[in-house]
Amino acid sequence: MTKAEKVEFTIKTLQELYPKIPVPLDHKDPYTLLIAVLMSAQSTDVRVNQITPVLFERADNPWKMVKLSVEEIREIIKPVGLSPMKSKGIHGLSKILIDKYNGEVPADIELLKELPAVGHKTASVVVSQAFGIPAFPVDTHIHRLMYRWGFSNGKNVVQTEKDAKRLFAKELWNDLHLQIIWYGREYSPARGWNLDKDIITKTIGRKSVLQEYQKAKKSR
């Protein structure tokens, strides 16, 4: 297969598997999505979805959130990890949204990145999923699969994002990044990986990855 054929096969397979794409983090508007994505850093979506209802029952908008102390927010979100940093970020960005944006979340990656505890990935997820603006946030699943499929060198997520944006048409980015995440979880995980179920990697995967898998399989 040529690189173009591999890309086409990947897109076609993902679209067939995920014609309707669920958003992993529960939310009701751009603000609650922003908070949920911030909380998901070095945590799981399942854990975040267990905690956000508790937090949002107390405060589901910036005005209510700033009425809580940083300590109160920290106590609620402690199970997701990194609660000292995240609670300060949540309280701080809520105040900035009120003071600078009339409580609205800006639909701009660069403006979002100016908010406390909001990095490039978080900002990309928000503009993509809340506003429909093309972006390609790269998480661990996408980083792993882009390498397994031979679409990126796996050196860092910055390069992986550049490669993804170069390979895939812009109008597909918002769907594809979610489709790849779901595929990575269900068919091509980091642990407990079964290549027989992973049709994309089995068909187009990087030769060294396939060889390493077979080598590891024999040694079990």
Q: Which residues are catalytic?
A: 121, 139
* Contact criterion met (CB below 8 Å) for 157 and 137: no
Q: CA nearest 30: which of 62, 55, 75, 70?
A: 62
Helix residue ranges, H only, the chain: 3-17, 30-39, 45-58, 62-65, 70-77, 83-101, 109-113, 120-131, 140-148, 157-167, 173-186, 199-204, 207-218
> How many Cα atoms within 13 Å fall on the side-chain side of residue 83?
15
DSSP secondary structure letters along 81-137 = S-HHHHHHHHHHHHHHHHHHHTTPPPS-HHHHHTSTT--HHHHHHHHHHHH------
Compute, in degrees rounded to 10, the torsion defined by CA atoms 186, 123, 93, 54: -20
Q: Phi, psi (5° rounding) for residue 179? A: -60, -40
Angle formed by the axes of helices 120-131 and 173-186, to 10°? Answer: 110
